[in-house]
Structure 1
Amino acid sequence: MSETSLKVAIIGFSGLIGKRHTVHVLENASTELVAVIDPSPGAAAIKTTLGVPEATPIFADVAEMLQSSSPVGKPDCAIVCTPPHTHVPISTTLIEAGVHVLVEKPISDTIESGRTLVDLAKKNNVHLLVGHHRRFNPYIVAAKKAVSSGMVGNVLAVSAIWALCKPDPYFDADPALSWRKSRSRGGGVVLTNFVHEADILQHLLGRIVRVHAEEITPQRNMEARQDASHDMAEEGVALTLRFASGTVGTFILSDAAVSPHSFEMGTGENPHIPRVRAGHDGHEAEGDEIDVYRILGTHGTLSVPDLILTSYGAGKERSWNEKLHREKQAIDKDPRVPFERQLDHFIRVVRGQEEPSCTGQAGLEALQVCQAILESIATKKTVDIAE
C-alpha cells in the first residue's frame, strides 16, 4: 500500500473513547478522517467541539456510510468505539466490506461471536486488531523487556490491584450509558476494566489457564439488586490465577473502592483521572509512581509502573541475610500517548509494515479470561480455561 493518507472512519465517536480516537486521527499526518458514525442527537455538536472538519459527514450507522455516494469513498480502516454488545455486528459489516478494523476492547460480549469475527477477518484477509492500548504504554513496554530479558528470573507469582471509585454520572449521566451497569449488555468492572488487565498479564506472563473469583459485596443500586431478576453488573472481585507456565497470581479488582492503586492513577495515562505518586500528600512532583503489579521471580521482584527492580545484585548470594538493592528501570521518552502509539501501529499494520501486536485472537483470549471470571462468580467454583 502507498504512503498516502489512510482514510479512517470512527464509529461511536461521541463516547469517551471515541472522542480520544477522533482527536488522534485528526492530528495524525498519515490519516484522514472521512466519516464519523453516531446516531446520538448530540453528535453534530460534538463533531464541532472536537474540531472535525465541517465537510466530514456524519452517518447514523455503518450501512448508511457504505451505501453513501460520498466523494471520499469507502474508508481503508475503521475504529469501533461502541458498547461491547455491538462490536461484532458492526465489525462484521466493516470486514465484509473489506475495511480493516481496530475494535475497542472487549472484542465482543461472548466467546462464540468473538471467535466468529476472528474467523471472518481471516477469511476476508482483513486486519482485525483489538484496542488494548496499554501494550503501547512505555511502562508496559519496559516491563515486557525486563521480564523477557530474565531480570526477575523465573516468574513465580504476580500480585496486582486495580481499584478506584467511579462516580455515579459514569453510569447515569446519559441513558446511552446504562449498559455500563448491565451484566447482559457487557457492563461491569470485569468486562470493562479487567479485560485490560487480562491482556497485559498474558502479554507479560503468558496464557492464564485457571481462575477463581470471589465477588466483592456491591455498594450501588441496592434496591435494584433486591429484585431476583436484576441485571446489575458486578462491582469487584478477588481473584486467584494460574498461568500455563506455572506462575500463580492474585488480583483485587474494584470500581467502588477509594484507592490510588490503579493503572490510570499510577501512570497518568488517562487525562480525566488525576495521577498519584508515592510522595508526601500525593504531590505529583514527589515520589515514585504508585505500583499496581508486583512480579515476583527467582532473581528479583519488578513492580509496575514504578519499574523498580528489587534484587541482591549480580554475583550476590540469594539469601535473606543479604542486603536487597532497588534499581529503577528506564523507560523511553517518546512523548506520544499510548492511543497515539496504537494508531501509528495500526497504520503500519494496514500498510503491511508491521505484524499486529494485539490481534483478534489475543483479544479473544483476554475475553475468555473475563468470561471464566464471570462464570466463577455465578457458580462459585474454580474455572479451567480451555486453550
Structure 2
Amino acid sequence: MSNGTVRAVMVGCGSISNAWFKGFKDDPRVQIVGLVDLMPESMAKVAEAQELSDIPQSTDLAALLAEVKPDAVFNCTIPEAHLPVTMTALEHGCHVMGEKPLADTMANARTMVAAAGDADRIFSVIQNRRYQKQIRSLQAFLESGAIGKVTTVNTDFYLGAHFGGFRDRMEHVLLLDMA
C-alpha cells in the first residue's frame, strides 16, 4: 500500500460488484487496478459503467495479479469460487476482502483462514449492511450520548426466502448468505 491507497483487483463482475463499487467509488484510499471475471462481457460492462476501461482486464486471475501486483483482491465471486480465488490471491501476496458467505463449506473456510494466517495477509468477509451510511449514522448518533446510555439495540431484517441464482443451491441460505 502506497500513500495510504489500497491498489485492488475486483474479481467477479456480477451484480454484487456494483454495490462494492458504489461503496468506494469516491474513496481516495481505494484504487481499482484490474478486473477479473470468467465472462468477458460482464467485465466489459462493469468497466464501462465504472469508467475503468483503461485498466487491465482478464479471465486469468493469476496472470493479472502477476502483471499489476495489487495490494488486495476484492472477491465478489459465487461461494464455490471463493476458495480458488482467495488461495490464488494469497499466493500472490494479496490481502483479501470477500463477499459473504465466507465459503461454501466449513472445510474451505478453515483452509482459507489458515492460508491467510500462514501468508500473514488479512482475509476478511464484508457484511455490507454494517457499513451502510444509515447504519454508520445510527452508530454515531448512539455513541454521541444524545439519548443517554444505550443498553440494547434490536433490529430486524426481512427479505423473502427465494433469492435465485447460486443461492438456490445453498443449504441454509439465510444462515450462510444473510447472517
Task: Quickly name the TM-score band, shorter chain normalised.
Answer: 0.7 to 0.9
Letter in 1 for 2:174: V
The 3 A distance-change label for structure 1 pair 159 and 127 is closer
The 5-angstrom pairing of residues 298-309 of structure 1 reads: none
Equivalent pairs counted in the alignment come to 172
Give the equivalent residue in structure 2 for 1:188: 173
Contact 2:98 2:126 in 1 (8 A): yes
Contact 2:142 2:150 in 1 (8 A): no
Give the equivalent residue in structure 2 for 1:61: 60
Give the equivalent residue in structure 2 for 1:113: 108
Distance apart, 1:135 and its partner CA? 3.0
Q: Which 5+ residue runs of structure 1 have no aligned equivalent?
A: 172-176, 196-387
Give the equivalent residue in structure 2 for 1:354: none
CA distance in 2, matches of 1:144, 1:128: 29
The answer to whether residue 28 in structure 2 is matched with residue 29 in structure 1 is yes
- More helix, by proportion: 2
CA distance in 2, matches of 1:144, 1:191: 29
Distance apart, 1:144 and its partner CA? 7.6
The 5-angstrom pairing of residues 69-148 of structure 1 reads: 73-136=68-131, 137-138=135-136, 141-142=139-140, 145=143
Contact 1:118 1:128 in 2 (8 A): yes
Distance apart, 1:31 and its partner CA? 2.4
CA distance in 2, matches of 1:49, 1:109: 30
Per the alignment, in what secondary structure is the counterpart of residue 70 of structure 2?
coil
CA distance in 2, matches of 1:60, 1:118: 25
Contact 1:10 1:78 in 2 (8 A): yes
CA distance in 2, matches of 1:122, 1:143: 36
The 3 A distance-change label for structure 1 pair 166 and 143 is farther
- More strand, by proportion: 1
The 5-angstrom pairing of residues 1-387 of structure 1 reads: 2-3=2-3, 5-13=5-13, 15-43=14-42, 44-52=44-52, 54-68=53-67, 73-136=68-131, 137-138=135-136, 141-142=139-140, 145=143, 151-152=150-151, 161-165=156-160, 171=164, 177=165, 179-183=166-170, 188-193=173-178, 195=179
Letter in 2 for 1:141: Q
Give the equivalent residue in structure 2 for 1:228: none
Greater Rg by CA: 1
Per the alignment, in what secondary structure is the counterpart of residue 96 of structure 2?
strand
The 3 A distance-change label for structure 1 pair 23 and 142 is closer
Q: Which 5+ residue runs of structure 2 have no aligned equivalent?
A: none
Q: Please give the per-residue CA displacement for 1:362-381, whole angstroms capped at 9, x wherever unaligned.
A: xxxxxxxxxxxxxxxxxxxx
Superposed CA RMSD in Å reads 2.9
Letter in 1 for 2:51: G
Letter in 2 for 1:183: M
Q: Please give the per-residue CA displacement for 1:172-213, whole angstroms capped at 9, x wherever unaligned.
A: xxxxx3x121126xx8333222x2xxxxxxxxxxxxxxxxxx
Per the alignment, in what secondary structure is the counterpart of residue 88 of structure 2?
helix
The 3 A distance-change label for structure 1 pair 45 and 2 is closer
TM-score when normalising by structure 2: 0.79
CA distance in 2, matches of 1:139, 1:27: 18
CA distance in 1, matches of 2:82, 2:142: 29
CA distance in 2, matches of 1:46, 1:100: 22
CA distance in 1, matches of 2:142, 2:106: 27
Per the alignment, in what secondary structure is the counterpart of residue 62 of structure 2?
helix
